[in-house]
């Protein structure tokens, strides 16, 4: 509860404050301060389960350690994102405090969709997340690509929201008691009534759209590519992980008992997502676009948590959200500093900026899933969860083969950084590198390695 209310309040304050604050740097510090306070407040709720605001939500929201832990991970990653890329947010346009305010609104939505217990809350949460995102995507007003991306995202997003609403309506009508509560939808595990089945499929489609699972992924590359890179970083990591979290919670709580009836659909989704994401990423020349496709590929792995729905899958999802967000935020933060976003633009970075190149290597190795990084542990948990179900082992083997393909495009960047020379003696970086930025990169990389060695630092929290 703390997180939802405080983010909303802070978002409003920042938006109003934008009218009075003239300095460009102030909103960033305000945002960092606010978010740190909110995380602390959320931790207090996690530890004592006593929120500051004791509001009777009529069971429409559920707070438990799993949800709150996820909020912590998402907000913590956002804090890191502010610290690493805050200066680049300032460069996007004039209305700096509004960008931060919009991000706070998104975080409010993230907290809602992580804790919803009613389909209405899910819908409201998804909308609160989506609408500010449309604005952020188009925030680079003079850039045609940014405008195109925003329009595309808005149209597709509105369409998928419509599908979701239709699905919710079906479920409402189909449930025995006529209720929006997700745990009331299904009674028993018999064959699904047609209304429920229709609702389930519609929800599956709209959620797949939000997490960009194939074949509902077509918006992703264009939107991620067109949006200002700082916001791509935020969209591709925190927002995506949150959508996943909502996806898994919805299907576990609402339809968990009849999993065997819809598991086939998830199997198809996983196979399609892994295949399209990885194969298309191979052909990309722009690192930004490559990361967009790789985020689709990573979504394929995250879908395993929906396939397995066991304890390992839950731990794995939290771990995956953290590992993937850390590595991607770091990688995007470095990408923003580059002059040229193509893979060749990274040529010779290892020589000019060894520290940046080494941390980028750790991020890429983590995305590939090499041991000693958090990326390995998260993939490992997902695979364990899938194997534990005891069937569809072929899918697991298919997934690891796709992971082997992913090594190809991640390692191309590593090869460019270390083994190729820059075309001329020009500096490959566009932005200036502050010592604080370097320190933060090192901290992020260390975090990835610590999680890679001791994933239970994160997952153990689930059992308090």
Partner 1 sequence: MNQNIWITFPELLIWFPLVAGLVAFIIRKEKAVKNWAILASLITLSISIVSLVYADNTKHLHLNNVSYFWLRYLGSNFTLGLDGMGHMLTALTAIAFPLIFIAGNKTNYKNTHVFYGLMLLTQSGLMGVFTAMDLLVFYFFWELAVIPAYFLCSRWGGEKRIQATFKFFVYTFTGSLLMLVGIIYLYMHTLPTANAEHSFSMHAVYSAILSPAEKNWIFWLFFIAFAIKMPVFPFHTWQPDTYEQAPTSTTMVLSGIMVKMGVFAVIRWIIPVFPDAVTKFDNIVIGLSVTGMIYASLIAIKQDDLKRFVAYSSIAHIGLMCAAIFTKTEIGLQGVMIQMFSHGINIIGMWIVVDLIEKQTGTRKISELGGIAHKAPALTIFLVVIALANIALPLTNAFVGEFMMFSGLFKFNIIYTAVAGLSIVLAAVYTLNMVQKVFYGEVNAVTETLHDISLNQKLVLAVLVVFVFLFGIYPQPLFDLTKDTVTAIITRIK
Residues found near partner 1 in the complex (CB under 8 A): 365, 370-372, 380, 383-384, 387-388, 390, 393, 396-397, 400-401, 403-404, 407-408, 411, 415, 418-420, 454-456, 460
Least Å distance, CB 370 to partner 1, is: 6
Least Å distance, CB 366 to partner 1, is: 12
Compare residues 218 and 411 and give the one whose CB is closer to partner 1. 411
Residue 152, Cβ neighbours under 10 Å: how many? 17
Handedness of CA 300, 303, 304, 307 (dihedral sign): negative
Helix (H, G, I), strand (E, B) or coil at 193: coil
Compare residues 99 and 381 and give the one whose CB is closer to partner 1. 381
What gap in Å lies between CA 354 and CA 348, rounded to an integer?
A: 9
Least Å distance, CB 411 to partner 1, is: 6
Find out whether 455 and 374 touch, Cβ atoms under 8 Å: yes
Packing angle, helices 26-48 and 65-92, rounded to 10: 180
DSSP state of 310: S
Compare residues 47 and 460 and give the one whose CB is closer to partner 1. 460
Packing angle, helices 219-226 and 287-302, rounded to 10: 130
Least Å distance, CB 380 to partner 1, is: 7
Q: What are phi and psi of 342, to 5 degrees?
A: -80, 165
What gap in Å lies between CA 108 and CA 40, rounded to an integer?
A: 15
| Long-range CB contact pairs, 155-161, < 8 A, 24+ | 156/209, 156/218, 156/219, 157/130, 157/133, 157/209, 157/219, 160/205, 160/206, 160/209, 160/210, 160/216, 161/123, 161/126, 161/127, 161/130, 161/206
Compare residues 267 and 384 and give the one whose CB is closer to partner 1. 384
Compare residues 95 and 415 and give the one whose CB is closer to partner 1. 415
Element containing residue 42 per DSSP (H, E):
helix 26-48
Compare residues 284 and 368 and give the one whose CB is closer to partner 1. 368
What gap in Å lies between CA 262 and CA 309, rounded to an integer?
A: 12
Compare residues 125 and 350 and give the one whose CB is closer to partner 1. 350
Find out whether 458 and 73 touch, Cβ atoms under 8 Å: yes
Least Å distance, CB 456 to partner 1, is: 6
From the number of C-beta atoms within 10 Å of its C-beta (0-12, 13-18, 19+), residue 26 rates as middle
Compare residues 106 and 364 and give the one whose CB is closer to partner 1. 364
Compare residues 246 and 318 and give the one whose CB is closer to partner 1. 318
Q: What are phi and psi of 61, to 5 degrees?
A: -125, 145
Compare residues 52 and 408 and give the one whose CB is closer to partner 1. 408
Least Å distance, CB 316 to partner 1, is: 12
Least Å distance, CB 301 to partner 1, is: 12
Element containing residue 125 per DSSP (H, E):
helix 119-137
Least Å distance, CB 390 to partner 1, is: 8
Compare residues 267 and 387 and give the one whose CB is closer to partner 1. 387
Element containing residue 374 per DSSP (H, E):
helix 374-389
Cα 461 from chain centroid? 20
In the chain, % helix, strand, coil (3-state, to 5) comes to 75, 0, 20
Least Å distance, CB 227 to partner 1, is: 32
Q: What are phi and psi of 181, to 5 degrees?
A: -70, 130
Least Å distance, CB 344 to partner 1, is: 14
Least Å distance, CB 187 to partner 1, is: 31
């Amino acid at each position: 509860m703390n997180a939802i209310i405080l983010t909303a309040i802070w978002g409003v304050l920042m938006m109003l404050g934008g009218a009075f604050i003239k300095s460009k740097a102030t909103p960033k510090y305000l945002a960092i301060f606010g978010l740190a306070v909110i995380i602390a407040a959320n931790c207090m709720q996690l530890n004592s389960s006593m929120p500051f605001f004791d509001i009777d939500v009529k069971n429409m929201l559920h707070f438990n350690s799993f949800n709150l832990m996820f909020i912590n991970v998402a907000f913590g990653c956002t804090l890191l994102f502010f610290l690493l890329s805050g200066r680049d947010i300032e460069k996007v346009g004039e209305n700096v405090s509004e960008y931060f305010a919009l991000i706070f609104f998104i975080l409010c939505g993230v907290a809602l969709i992580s804790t919803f217990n009613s389909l209405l809350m899910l819908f409201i949460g998804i909308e609160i997340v989506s609408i500010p995102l449309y604005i952020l995507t188009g925030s680079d007003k003079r850039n045609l690509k940014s405008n195109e991306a925003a329009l595309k995202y808005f149209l597709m997003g509105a369409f998928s929201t419509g599908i979701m609403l239709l699905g919710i309506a079906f479920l409402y009508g189909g449930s025995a008691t006529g209720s929006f509560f997700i745990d009331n939808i299904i009674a028993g595990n018999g064959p699904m009534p047609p209304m429920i089945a229709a609702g389930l499929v519609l929800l599956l489609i709209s959620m797949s759209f939000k997490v960009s699972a194939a074949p509902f992924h077509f918006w992703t590359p264009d939107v991620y590519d067109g949006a200002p890179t700082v916001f791509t970083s935020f969209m591709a990591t925190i927002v995506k992980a949150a959508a996943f979290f909502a996806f898994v919670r919805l299907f576990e709580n609402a339809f968990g008992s009849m999993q065997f009836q819809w598991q086939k659909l998830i199997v198809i989704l996983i196979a399609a997502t892994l295949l399209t994401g990885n194969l298309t990423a191979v052909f990309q020349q722009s690192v930004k676009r490559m990361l967009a496709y790789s985020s689709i590929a990573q979504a394929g792995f995250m879908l395993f948590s929906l396939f397995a729905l066991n304890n390992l899958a839950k731990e794995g999802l939290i771990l995956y959200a953290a590992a993937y967000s850390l590595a991607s935020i770091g990688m995007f933060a470095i990408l923003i500093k580059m002059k040229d976003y193509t893979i060749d633009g990274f040529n010779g970075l290892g020589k000019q900026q060894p520290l940046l190149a080494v941390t980028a290597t750790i991020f890429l190795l983590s995305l590939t899933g090499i041991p000693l990084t958090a990326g390995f542990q998260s993939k490992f948990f997902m695979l364990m969860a899938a194997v534990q179900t005891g069937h569809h082992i072929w899918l697991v083997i298919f997934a690891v083969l796709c992971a082997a393909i992913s090594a190809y495009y991640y390692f191309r960047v590593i090869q460019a950084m270390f083994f190729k020379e820059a075309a001329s003696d020009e500096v490959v970086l566009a932005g200036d590198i502050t010592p604080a930025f370097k320190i933060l990169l090192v901290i992020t990389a260390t975090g990835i390695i610590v999680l890679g060695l001791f994933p239970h630092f994160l997952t153990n929290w689930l059992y308090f």
